[in-house]
């Protein structure tokens, strides 16, 4: 996730303050970093890769005006990591520099408009339109503050923005759907995407709300909403600098679980044509409807692939999910109209890359569904679809799994051209409601109580059918990965073909039962089988069926569609795994023997 820091009033310490701020934002993950110094002149330095690259570059550079500046760590969403795509971005005359977090949805239209007016773009980013728009307004004679707000009014989408303008001892900022906070400390004022960026200087903060602008000048700051000033309350945060890399959470995993509502909104942003009742995804413009789809993936991503394959089969498209490590050496039959989709958060998993390469050699078209712009999978495949979850630091995949499921829904609808506008509309509305429902689960979950009561089992089983089956597998994987306890996921119907022999009063069974169709009823039959053998049953349910009657405890999710119910049930199971591991005092973010990115076969 990108990070922003800006400061004014730090005198000769401006450069070090900005670099320290960027360092404090490193935990968010980034692939390039940059700084703009403002004041009489505007000067920018930016570098791909580690912050150290930028620091080395700055050592060879004069300190410029030295009294104000803005800095940025970039996590690519539009255009691969590179010096030229790094922030800050400037206008052609070098009078304006801007840093941006978020996604500008109408950037293509704005780029086209500016190109017609003769602007030459120097990056692939959506963000670069902003300095050019501000420059246009300055050319039209507007003073900097008005030029900034007039430019921002042209933007659709999410943004946290900070800008400096030549000749102005000020930082201009604006926020919409992407966090921005001001820090105040006497004559020094800071602005950042996240409090940790400036916490070593001040704990007194002012949070900006959507639609608000702020102007920071030496010794003062003002916030306004459109044309009117807004009274803001200065709050004091209680965090210590040590806590803040995790934004106050004990672990990155928990923080990332809680970031899911934002990640899911981000994944859908700009990809829904509400009016037309369809999904519109620029990255997939060239993608033709395949005869068949094969998914290749590992671990959690394989569970996402199982979910997507079922959606495609339901829509009448032959589809199958394969473990990438098996596929690479024994691929399934392929025709030139087969699409092979590599589902991989990192885009660097060796098994998945091998499977995709094998598919490509055999003539299939390939698509990478990944979180990392410019990753090997994204570069090597014919197409790439980004899940936009932001960086995930915890080894256990959480928000990336949820974002994969949402992105796979978009892909499936795009490939099947929908079963009808009405169905697509109802899917759009279910996906739109999902972030709020995930928040509800996070707010109300009784997972910690369930762990208190049932967490000392000898082994833990997870069962489900249909779309709830990959969720059961994922629940078990998450559980074993971070608790080191024995956990297995099964298709509910398979229990009686072997695993039932393991079931005792010491093996809690988590049964995912959503909806109340034939599948749900059959799973309830399996619940009765384990219950009669004395196993404690924890139902994860939307309450549509009567599974609660046979359960010892219930983890509730809101009522929704089958596709989104599976995603909500998964959030409950993430929390079960987390709380169990917490109670057992495990190294949750770095489980033993495991790595975030598995680059060996």
DSSP summary character for residue 288: P
What's the CA gap between 511 and 441, in Å, rounded?
17
List the one residue from 352, 514, 526, 574 that touches ligand M6R (CB under 6 A): 352
What track of x and - describes contact with ligand M6R for positions 368 through 387 (by CB under 6 A)?
A: --------------------
What track of x and - describes contact with ligand M6R for positions 396 through 435 (by CB under 6 A)?
A: xx--------------------------------------
Note whether 487 and 458 are within 8 A (CB).
no
Give the helix ranges, DSSP H, for 224-327.
Answer: 252-258, 260-268, 299-314, 324-327
The CB-of-378 to ligand M6R minimum distance in angstroms stands at: 12
Note whether 555 and 446 are within 8 A (CB).
yes
The smaller minimum CB distance to ligand M6R, of residues 130 and 253, is found at 253
What's the CA gap between 527 and 511, in Å, rounded?
7
Contacting ligand M6R within 448-507 (CB under 6 A)? 477, 481
Stretch that binds ligand M6R, among 20-28, 238-246, 339-347, 576-584 (CB under 6 A): 339-347
Catalytically annotated residue among 2, 267, 298, 381 = 2
The CB-of-456 to ligand M6R minimum distance in angstroms stands at: 23
List the one residue from 180, 298, 317, 573 that touches ligand M6R (CB under 6 A): 298
Helix (H, G, I), strand (E, B) or coil at 216: strand
Angle 155-98-258 (CA atoms, 0-180°, nearest 5)?
70
The smaller minimum CB distance to ligand M6R, of residues 189 and 346, is found at 346
Stretch that binds ligand M6R, among 57-65, 74-82, 109-117, 345-353 (CB under 6 A): 345-353
Of 345, 350, 344, 352, give the one whose Cα is nearest residue 323: 352
CA distances from 522 to 369, 513, 530 (A): 33, 10, 13
Q: Is 43 in the site for ligand M6R (CB under 6 A)?
A: no
Contacting ligand M6R within 260-289 (CB under 6 A)? none
The smaller minimum CB distance to ligand M6R, of residues 300 and 483, is found at 300
Catalytically annotated residue among 522, 528, 590, 596 = 596
Angle between helices 129-139 and 107-116 (to 10 degrees): 50
What's the CA gap between 62 and 530, in Å, rounded?
72
How many CB atoms within 10 Å of residue 302? 25
Number of residues that bind ligand M6R (CB under 6 A): 16
Of 20, 199, 193, 27, give the one whose Cα is nearest residue 99: 193
Of 343, 267, 582, give the one whose Cα is nearest residue 448: 582
The CB-of-344 to ligand M6R minimum distance in angstroms stands at: 3
Residue 596 known to be catalytic: yes
The smaller minimum CB distance to ligand M6R, of residues 397 and 569, is found at 397
The CB-of-298 to ligand M6R minimum distance in angstroms stands at: 4
Contacting ligand M6R within 94-133 (CB under 6 A)? none
The smaller minimum CB distance to ligand M6R, of residues 464 and 591, is found at 591
Angle between helices 447-454 and 562-583 (to 10 degrees): 50
Stretch that binds ligand M6R, among 4-12, 297-305, 444-452, 519-527 (CB under 6 A): 297-305
The smaller minimum CB distance to ligand M6R, of residues 144 and 299, is found at 299
How many CB atoms within 10 Å of residue 235? 12
Beta strands in 303-433 (DSSP E): 319-323, 338-344, 365-370, 383-386
The smaller minimum CB distance to ligand M6R, of residues 39 and 299, is found at 299
37 φ/ψ angles, rounded to the nearest 5 degrees: -95, 135
**What pairing do the DSSP bridges indicate for beta strands 3-8 and 68-74?**
antiparallel
List the one residue from 17, 173, 193, 300 that touches ligand M6R (CB under 6 A): 300
User: What residue number has its CB nearest to ligand M6R?
Assistant: 299
The smaller minimum CB distance to ligand M6R, of residues 125 and 570, is found at 570
* Residues 6+ positions from 132 with CB-CB distance below 8 Å: 91, 92, 114, 119, 121
Stretch that binds ligand M6R, among 171-179, 395-403, 430-438, 528-536 (CB under 6 A): 395-403
How many CB atoms within 10 Å of residue 10? 21
Task: For the chain, give percent helix, strand, coil, nearest 5.
Answer: 40, 25, 40
Residue 298 known to be catalytic: no
The smaller minimum CB distance to ligand M6R, of residues 64 and 302, is found at 302
CA distances from 108 to 115, 172, 347 (A): 10, 24, 26
What's the CA gap between 443 and 441, in Å, rounded?
5
What's the CA gap between 296 and 331, in Å, rounded?
10
Stretch that binds ligand M6R, among 391-399, 547-555, 561-569, 575-583 (CB under 6 A): 391-399
Note whether 392 and 371 are within 8 A (CB).
yes
**What pairing do the DSSP bridges indicate for beta strands 509-513 and 460-464?**
parallel
Q: Is 580 in the site for ligand M6R (CB under 6 A)?
A: no
The smaller minimum CB distance to ligand M6R, of residues 396 and 451, is found at 396
Stretch that binds ligand M6R, among 78-86, 343-351, 487-495, 575-583 (CB under 6 A): 343-351
List the one residue from 346, 437, 572, 574 that touches ligand M6R (CB under 6 A): 346
Active site residues: 2, 596
Positions touching ligand M6R (CB under 6 A) are 298-301, 344-346, 349, 352, 395-397, 477, 481, 597-598
């Amino acid at each position: 996730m990108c990070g922003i820091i800006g400061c004014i009033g730090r005198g000769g310490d401006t450069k070090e303050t900005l670099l320290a701020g960027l360092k404090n934002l490193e935990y968010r993950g980034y692939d390039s970093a940059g700084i703009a110094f403002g004041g009489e002149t505007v000067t920018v330095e930016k570098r791909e890769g580690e912050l150290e690259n930028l620091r080395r570059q700055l050592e060879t550079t004069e300190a410029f005006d030295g009294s104000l500046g803005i800095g940025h760590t970039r996590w690519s969403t539009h255009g691969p990591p590179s010096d030229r795509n790094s922030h800050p971005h400037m206008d052609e005359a070098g009078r304006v520099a801007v840093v941006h977090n978020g996604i500008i949805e109408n950037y293509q239209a704005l780029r086209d408009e500016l190109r017609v007016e003769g602007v030459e773009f120097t990056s692939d980013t959506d963000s670069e339109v902003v300095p050019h728009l501000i420059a246009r307004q300055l050319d039209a004679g507007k003073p900097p503050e008005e030029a900034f707000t007039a430019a921002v009014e042209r933007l659709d989408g999410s943004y946290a923005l900070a800008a400096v303008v030549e000749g102005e001892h000020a930082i201009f900022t604006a926020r919409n759907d992407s966090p921005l906070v001001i820090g105040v400390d006497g004559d020094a004022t800071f602005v950042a995407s996240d409090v940790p960026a400036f916490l070593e200087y001040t704990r007194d903060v002012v949070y900006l709300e959507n639609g608000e602008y702020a102007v920071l000048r030496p010794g003062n700051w003002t916030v306004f909403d459109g044309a009117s000033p807004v009274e803001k309350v200065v709050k004091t945060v209680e965090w210590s600098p040590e806590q803040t890399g995790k934004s106050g959470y004990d672990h990155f995993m928990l923080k990332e679980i809680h970031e899911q509502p934002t990640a899911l909104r981000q994944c859908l942003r700009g990809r829904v044509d509400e009016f037309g009742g369809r999904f519109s995804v620029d990255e997939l413009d060239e993608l033709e409807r395949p005869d068949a789809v094969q998914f290749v993936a590992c671990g959690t991503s394989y569970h996402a692939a199982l979910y997507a394959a079922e959606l495609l089969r339901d829509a009448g498209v032959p589809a199958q999910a394969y473990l990438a490590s098996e596929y690479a050496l024994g691929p399934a039959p392929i025709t030139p109209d087969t699409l092979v989709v590599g589902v991989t958060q990192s885009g660097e998993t060796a098994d998945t890359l091998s499977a995709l390469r094998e598919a490509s050699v055999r003539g299939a078209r390939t698509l990478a569904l990944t979180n990392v712009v410019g990753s090997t999978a994204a570069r090597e495949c014919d197409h790439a679809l980004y899940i936009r979850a932001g960086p995930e630091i915890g080894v256990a995949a959480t928000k990336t799994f949820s974002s994969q499921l949402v992105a796979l829904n978009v892909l499936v609808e795009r490939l099947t051209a929908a079963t009808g506008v009405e169905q697509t509309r109802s899917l759009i509305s279910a996906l739109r409601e999902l972030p709020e429902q995930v928040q509800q689960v996070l707010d109300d979950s009784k997972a910690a109580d369930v762990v208190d009561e049932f967490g000392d089992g000898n082994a833990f089983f997870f069962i489900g059918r249909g779309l709830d089956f990959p969720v059961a597998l994922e629940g078990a994987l998450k559980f074993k990965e971070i608790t080191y306890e024995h956990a297995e996921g099964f298709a509910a119907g398979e229990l009686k073909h072997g695993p039932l022999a393991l079931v005792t009063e010491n093996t809690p069974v988590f049964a995912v039962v959503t909806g109340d169709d034939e599948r749900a009823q059959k799973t309830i039959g399996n619940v009765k089988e384990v219950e009669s053998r004395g196993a404690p049953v924890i139902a994860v349910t939307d309450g549509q069926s009567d599974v609660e009657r046979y359960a010892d405890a219930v983890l509730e999710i809101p009522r929704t569609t089958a596709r989104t119910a599976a995603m909500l049930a998964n959030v409950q199971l993430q929390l079960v795994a987390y709380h169990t591991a917490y109670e057992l005092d495990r190294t949750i973010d770095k489980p033993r023997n495991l790595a975030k990115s598995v680059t060996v076969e």
